[in-house]
Amino acid sequence: MQKLEGDGLAFVHAGGTITKKELLPGQTLRVDTGCLVAITSGVDYDIEFVKGVKTALFGGEGLFFATLRGPGSVWIQSLPFSRLASRVFAAAPHRGGGKDEGSIARGIFDMFNGD
């Protein structure tokens, strides 16, 4: 967590779709901790353990939620860096054991070599 205050511009890196939510006084929002981008100072922030073994193991979100209570603004992202890295790794070609092992460009060069 990084606190930003004062006058000026701040550039924040986030991934996927960024959504701004306006929380009313007492309104609660629970999000995956990796999806939280920014909150205003009026928002109460707490970490909560995911209830239920099935939810924790098979929910795909992780073991903790960020519980946010208004009033204030909350910005959330749909693709945190950990999920982006997982998707990139899953999409990368998985070939090994041959010449040029570990080369991402191998598939491109194979088109020209006829391998």
Q: What is the pLDDT of residues 51-98, one digit of tens each?
A: 665 555 555 555 788 999 999 999 999 887 767 777 777 778 876 555
Number of structural domains (the chain) is: 1
The 3-state secondary structure of 12-50, one letter per residue: CCCCCCEEEEEECCCCEEEEEHHHEEEECCCCEEEEEEC
% of the chain residues with pLDDT over 70: 68
State the residue for tokens 């959504």: 19
Question: Residue 34 falls within a domain, yes or no?
Answer: yes
Is residue 110 predicted with pLDDT exceeding 70? Answer: no
Question: Residue 10 falls within a domain, yes or no?
Answer: no
Question: Residue 57 falls within a domain, yes or no?
Answer: yes
> The domain containing residue 80 runs over which residues?
23-85
What three-state secondary structure class fits 73? strand
Question: Residue 35 falls within a domain, yes or no?
Answer: yes
Question: Residue 95 falls within a domain, yes or no?
Answer: no
Sheet containing 36-39: order of strands:
18-23, 72-77, 36-39
pLDDT-derived band of residue 34, with 50, 70 and 90 as boundaries? Answer: confident
Joined tokens for residue 8: 């000026």
